[in-house]
């Protein structure tokens, strides 16, 4: 039985093909690649599908996908394989919920600290009993560089493809200072949260996902699980759970 998961984020649309719980194929498109997106979906017929979107229901591309492919729409009423201990579940991002469900499916009966690094970075705790205890939201890597460029008079916009030495802590010019100020700051955030939570959850494991996960994971010194497609795995679990 083939399932299709569709994750419409702030900047990209990610799709995953599953045969039960195995990811057999995936693709990623920007919003200006609607033709390529539709062609890919036409070429991959499925038995069932699910759509998660940060865009509203009246967004043109959301309407087009719903009309042509009729996927299940993930919303606040969808049954979940995890328990949300959150005071405002209706405002909890669908990608965060899906990442929790993906963590529960791939790494069951483990305490997980899930870092989902996209346009924003979310830091979430999922206990081994499948309970979401809460989390935080912070600006993403590119958002921080963009903000420093736009809200100052002279700071340049950093190219995310620029690199510094892996063991470098301090910048020796403005570009390096901007690069390291953001990446070292995010690494410090991860280390801070993880170290505090690990005192309460000694077996805690770090899971990194999202579009910037590969880049950030290369900077992180501690052991971790890297799964960039965690949200897609979670959507597949929600689809099967419904």
The CA distances from residue 61 to 8, 11, 64, 65, in Å, are: 10, 13, 5, 6
Residues with Cβ < 8 Å from 57, sequence gap 6 or more? 63, 66, 73
How does 85-98 read in b/e, with b if 16+ C-beta sit within 10 Å? ebeeeeebbbbbbb
Residue 123 — φ and ψ, nearest 5°?
A: -120, 110
Following DSSP, what letter does each residue of 50-69 receive, concatenated?
EEEESS-TTSHHHHHHHHHH
**Rounded to whole angstroms, how far apart are CA atoms 224 and 187?**
13
Confirm whether 95 is a catalytic residue. Answer: yes
Catalytic option among 7, 47, 58, 95: 95
Catalytic residue positions, numbered: 95
């Amino acid at each position: 039985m083939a399932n299709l998961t569709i994750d419409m984020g702030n900047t990209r649309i990610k799709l995953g093909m599953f045969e039960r719980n195995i990811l057999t194929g995936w693709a990623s498109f920007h919003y200006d690649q609607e033709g390529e997106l539709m062609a890919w979906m036409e070429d991959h017929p499925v038995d069932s599908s699910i759509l998660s979107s940060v865009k509203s229901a009246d967004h043109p591309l959301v309407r087009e996908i719903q009309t042509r492919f009729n996927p299940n729409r993930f919303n606040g009423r969808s049954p979940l394989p995890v328990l949300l201990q959150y005071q405002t579940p209706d405002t909890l991002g669908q990608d965060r919920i899906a990442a929790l469900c993906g963590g529960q499916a791939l790494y069951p009966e483990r305490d997980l600290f899930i870092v989902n690094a996209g346009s924003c970075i979310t830091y979430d705790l999922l206990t081994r009993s499948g309970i979401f205890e809460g989390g935080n939201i912070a600006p993403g890597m590119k958002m921080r560089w963009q903000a420093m460029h736009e809200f100052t008079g002279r700071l340049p916009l950093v190219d995310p493809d620029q690199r510094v030495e892996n063991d470098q802590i301090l910048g020796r010019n403005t570009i390096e200072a901007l690069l390291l100020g953001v990446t070292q700051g995010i690494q410090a955030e991860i280390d801070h949260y993880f170290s505090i939570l690990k005192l309460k959850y000694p077996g805690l494991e770090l899971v990194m996902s999202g579009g910037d996960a590969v880049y950030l994971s290369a900077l992180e010194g501690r052991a971790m699980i890297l799964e960039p497609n965690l949200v897609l795995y979670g959507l597949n679990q929600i689809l099967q759970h419904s």
